[in-house]
Structure 1
Amino acid sequence: MDMMNDLIHPEGPNAKTYAPIIESRGVVARTRALIAKARAAGCRVGFVRVGFSPDYVQCPPNSPVFSAARERGLFKLGGWGTEVYAPLEPRPDDLDIVKHRVSPFYGTSLQPTLSALGTKRLFLTGVSTNGVVHTGVREGHDRDYACVVVEDCCAGASEEEHRNAIFCMQRFAKIQTVDEVSFAD
């Protein structure tokens, strides 16, 4: 989730925040490995991206998270910034969920899509651990999904934020690494 150019690309506008941590943790390589593992098991892969129309009508003006998006030209749908980071190799048949808030569920097509697919379990990854991943786990839990956080495919703005979010999420989700994940059960 939110593995897009505006947030994680080494030349993107948030490179100083996330790129060093993503690089040091090997998040992109591990996420690629997880995606390959999921596809080999016949699982559906989906990407969740934050984005706003060019006039930013969906952008909440009072949000501490998104209030600067308009001024900085961030998260504009249809542009390079909201594209999934190319090394993750999204495919045309992957799910593409666009959100306008931190939550991957709020005001999106995620819930009806998962219901239509008969989904029972979610494997959550992305940036940031304490933002979209944490919110996705809590909301997924409350929608009766079994949630698995793939810890080594997540990053926060700091290691402390990441660790704190993982600690909080263990009440609502199983915490695993790419090597521990099994799509068989």
Structure 2
Amino acid sequence: MSDLDIDIGRTALVLIDLQNSNVKRDLAPYTAEQVVGNCVLLAGEMRDRGAMVIFVRVLVDQMQLPPSDAPLRKPGTPAPPPDASHLAPDAQVQATDIVVTKRQWGAFYGTDLDQLLRRRNIKTIVLGGIATNFGVESTARAAFDRGYRVVFVEDAMSSMSAEMHKFACEHTFRIMGKVRSTRHVIDALQAGTGDA
């Protein structure tokens, strides 16, 4: 018996920012190709069971860039190319998937994500994407605050450094939910039902 029993009817897969601007980045500890590949596997398993699959993308040209000590995009940097916010073709978004568009790191603020989940009576979110300690963590904190159970798929996310990823997975995410591998989550999906 798996320690991660998933009630598929009340679980949604939420994949953060698998878009052109992010999959071209140098990531660690997993490459963008590894992350996207694991997300594709998870999405396929969820779809096969009739579960909700949601892709979130950020409009990078509309993000607020307040003054900061270490800005992600320095002032005067050219605007991102028009396709930067498009979901990467390798993510294999399907017509049955839902796409949520945001203008900040987190996927809940200013979007209809919470309403979409509640209308389907979703209680558990399986979470992956790029980057671990930016979009994924911001979304996870908002999900936790709203009472969702969260399953973090550790090898279906990555960040700008292995240290950033490791800190979030080992110190933050374990307090908010369960941290598991892609294989572990897929095994749990294939095993049947229960509560995540």
Give me the TM-score of the superposition, normalised by structure 2: 0.78
Deviating above 3 A after TM superposition, structure 1's stretches of 4 or more consecutive aligned residues are 63-71
Q: Distance in 2 between matches of 1:125 and 1:67?
A: 23
* TM alignment of 1:104-143, pairs within 5 A: 104-143=107-146
**Structure 1 residues 63 and 150, CA gap change in structure 2 (3 angstroms):** farther
Q: State the distance in 1 between where 2:139 and 2:23 align.
A: 19
Q: Aligned partners of 1:49, 1:7: CA distance in 2, in Å?
A: 10
Greater RCO structure (CA 8 Å; 6+ sep): 2
Deviations 1:142-168 (A, max 9, x none): 111110001110001011110001021
What secondary structure is seen at the aligned counterpart in 2 of 1:97? strand
Is structure 2 residue 102 aligned with structure 1 residue 99? yes
Say which SS state the counterpart of residue 123 (structure 1) adopts. strand
Residues 1:63 and 1:133: Cα distance change in structure 2 (over 3 Å): farther
* CA distance in 1 between partners of 2:32 and 2:85 (Å): 23
What SS does structure 2 have at the residue aligned with 1:164? helix
Q: Which amino acid aligns with 1:73?
A: A
List aligned pairs for 1:1-185, cutoff 5 A.
Answer: 1-9=16-24, 15=25, 17-18=26-27, 21-23=29-31, 26-51=34-59, 58-62=62-66, 64=68, 68=74, 71-74=77-80, 79-167=82-170, 168-181=172-185, 182-183=188-189, 184-185=193-194
Instruction: Report the aligned-residue RMSD.
Output: 2.3
Tell me how far apart the structure 2 counterparts of residues 136 and 87 of structure 1 sit (CA, whole Å). Answer: 23
The 1:92–1:63 alpha-carbon spacing in structure 2 relative to 1, beyond 3 Å, is farther
1:6–1:82 contact (8 Å) kept in structure 2: yes
Q: Secondary structure at the match of 1:154?
A: strand
Which runs of 5 or more structure 2 residues have no equivalent in the other structure? 1-15
Deviations 1:15-50 (CA, angstroms, capped at 9, x unpaired)? 3x33x7543882222111111111112111111111
1:135 is paired with a residue whose SS is helix
Residue 66 of structure 2 aligns to a residue whose secondary structure is coil
Matched pairs, number: 171
Listed as ranges, the gaps of 5+ residues in structure 1 are 10-14
2-structure distance, mates of 1:63, 1:177: 36
Aligned amino acid, residue 124 of structure 2: R
Alpha-carbon deviation of 1:134?
A: 1.1
Structure 1: distance between partners of 2:142 and 2:36: 25
